[in-house]
Amino acid sequence: MTVETRKAGVSGKGRGTWLSAAVAVVLACIYWGYTVSEEKSLRDFTVPLQFANLPEGLVLMEEGLLRVVTVEVQGPPEMVRRLREGDVEVRVDVGRVSPGPQVVELGTENVRLPSSVEFTKVVPNVVRFTVDRKSTATLPLKPTFLGQPAPGRQVLEWGVDPPTVTVSGPSALLQRLQFIPTQAVPLEGRAQDFLTPVVPALPSPELSTGDLGPFTLSVTLGEKRLQRTVGPVPIQVHGGHVPVEVAPSGIKVMVEGPASLMEALAPGDFVAEVDLSGHRLADREVQLRPAVRLADPALSSRVFITAVSPRFVGIRAAQSRRTPSMEVETP
CA distances in angstroms from 69 to 15, 128, 331, listed in the order given = 59, 13, 84
pLDDT digits (tens, 9 = 90+) for 172-216: 999 999 999 999 999 999 999 999 999 999 999 999 999 888 999
Q: What is the DSSP string of 244-286?
A: EEEESSEEEEEEEEEHHHHTT--GGGEEEEEE-TT---TTS-E
Last residue of a domain, one of 132, 156, 182: 132
Query: Is 14 contained in some domain?
Result: no
Regarding whether 87 and 61 lie in a shared domain, the answer is yes
Regarding whether 274 and 215 lie in a shared domain, the answer is no
Query: Is 22 contained in some domain?
Result: no
138 and 101 in contact (C-beta within 8 Å)? no
Query: Is 124 contained in some domain?
Result: yes
The β-bridge relationship of strands 89-93 and 42-52 is parallel
Q: pTM of the full predicted structure?
A: 0.60
Residue 212: its pLDDT value, please?
85
SS3 175: helix
Q: Any residues with CB less than 8 A from the CB of 224 and at least 6 apart, and which?
A: 152, 153, 154, 258, 259
pLDDT bin (cut points 50, 70, 90) of residue 220 is: very high
Q: Which CATH number does the domain housing residue 157 bear?
A: 2.170.120.40
Last residue of a domain, one of 223, 248, 270: 223
Query: Is 55 contained in some domain?
Result: yes
Half-sphere exposure for 231 (CA within 13 Å, toward CB):
20
Half-sphere exposure for 273 (CA within 13 Å, toward CB):
13
Domain range enclosing 94: 42-132
Q: Any residues with CB less than 8 A from the CB of 137 and at least 6 apart, and which?
A: 166, 167, 174, 177
In whole angstroms, give the CA distance from residue 292 to residue 309. Answer: 11
Q: Which residues sit opposite 217 in a β-bridge? A: 160, 196
How many separate domains does the chain show? 3
Regarding whether 106 and 76 lie in a shared domain, the answer is yes
Q: Which CATH number does the domain housing residue 47 bear?
A: 2.170.120.30
Query: Is 324 contained in some domain?
Result: no
Query: Is 322 contained in some domain?
Result: no
Residue 221: its pLDDT value, please?
96
Query: Is 263 contained in some domain?
Result: yes
Spatial CA neighbour of 251 closest among 296, 293, 304: 293
Regarding whether 168 and 123 lie in a shared domain, the answer is no
pLDDT bin (cut points 50, 70, 90) of residue 243 is: confident
Instruction: Please state, rounded to an integer, the average pLDDT across all residues of the chain.
Output: 87
Residue 8: its pLDDT value, please?
43
